[in-house]
Amino acid sequence: MIVDKLQAVRDRITTACVACGRDPAGVRLLAVSKTFGAEAVLAAVAGGQRAFGENYIQEGVDKILAVRAALESESDGLRPPGSRDASASEWHCIGPVQSNKTRLVAEHFDWVQSVDRLKIAQRLSEQRPSHLPPLQVCLQVNIDGGATKAGVAPQQAQALAVAVAGLPRLQLRGLMSIPEPAPDFVAACAVHQRARDLFDQINQAGVLPRPMDTLSMGMTADLEAAIHAGSTMVRVGTAIFGGR
């Protein structure tokens, strides 16, 4: 059952926080629902989950519309007609964003964590509808340096952060990383620590209008190591929804 698996992941997060002396309230859980349908998302919502991550933009948009419609009809009669409980679900784009998909992201998602180029950020800012709050943004950092991987190089991350923080319809929230699987806990901690150090370094440089508050790292296999290194948001798919 999705509700039980969600609870098991929350327990893992709590145990990991206790083990390194952190407050579990400082780690958010993003449920990665890619490839699973709206019913799976609604089951997780029923279990108290609010934030969902999607990799494929068109699939994500279809799901967002289906889930929001279902949640609105469910709560009909509890609220004044026409009002919308925007807080019922929150959607994060965590997959590659090509130029021809920026409008869909800007119009439907609440967050995008996979920004790695200024040109994409500029389009998202221009296309974010004025009736919506600013799009919440994390920069994807290629922390372990794979040449073919997405993500801004660590040495260029600060300059990109400054540029993105200056765009009017975006709010820069932090960094996101997807390192290669590590052989063991110590190795996983070491690679996540590099992202943590970069995050601290950019915040401490005093170049941003306000400090970043989100360090998005850790998945099903390595969330404990990521929390140990300071993750504030783990992105978990398999442990909640099952294998893909």
The site for ligand PLP (CB under 6 A) is made up of 32, 34, 55, 94, 178, 219-221, 235-238
Q: Report the DSSP beta bridge partners of residue 54.
A: 93
Give the residue closest to ligand PLP by C-beta.
237
> Which amino acid does the sequence have at 210?
R
Nearer to ligand PLP, 122 or 238 (CB): 238
Nearer to ligand PLP, 15 or 83 (CB): 15
Question: CA distances (Å), 127 to each of 52, 73, 107, 123, in order?
Answer: 22, 29, 7, 6
Least distance (Å) between residue 34 CB and ligand PLP = 6
Token code pair at residue 6: 């969600």
Parallel, antiparallel, or unpaired for β 214-216 and 170-177? parallel
Least distance (Å) between residue 116 CB and ligand PLP = 12
Token code pair at residue 220: 């099903």
Q: For CA atoms 96, 100, 104, 107, give the dihedral sign.
A: positive
CB 228 within 8 A of CB 16: yes
Least distance (Å) between residue 223 CB and ligand PLP = 8
Nearer to ligand PLP, 209 or 229 (CB): 229
Least distance (Å) between residue 224 CB and ligand PLP = 13
Token code pair at residue 46: 């029923």
DSSP letter (8 states) at residue 100: G
> Which amino acid does the sequence have at 101?
K
Nearer to ligand PLP, 154 or 206 (CB): 154
Least distance (Å) between residue 164 CB and ligand PLP = 19
Least distance (Å) between residue 140 CB and ligand PLP = 8
Question: CA distances (Å), 67 to each of 41, 60, 72, 127, 192, in order?
Answer: 7, 10, 9, 23, 33
Nearer to ligand PLP, 126 or 180 (CB): 180
Nearer to ligand PLP, 143 or 178 (CB): 178
- The residue behind tokens 């990109």 is 160
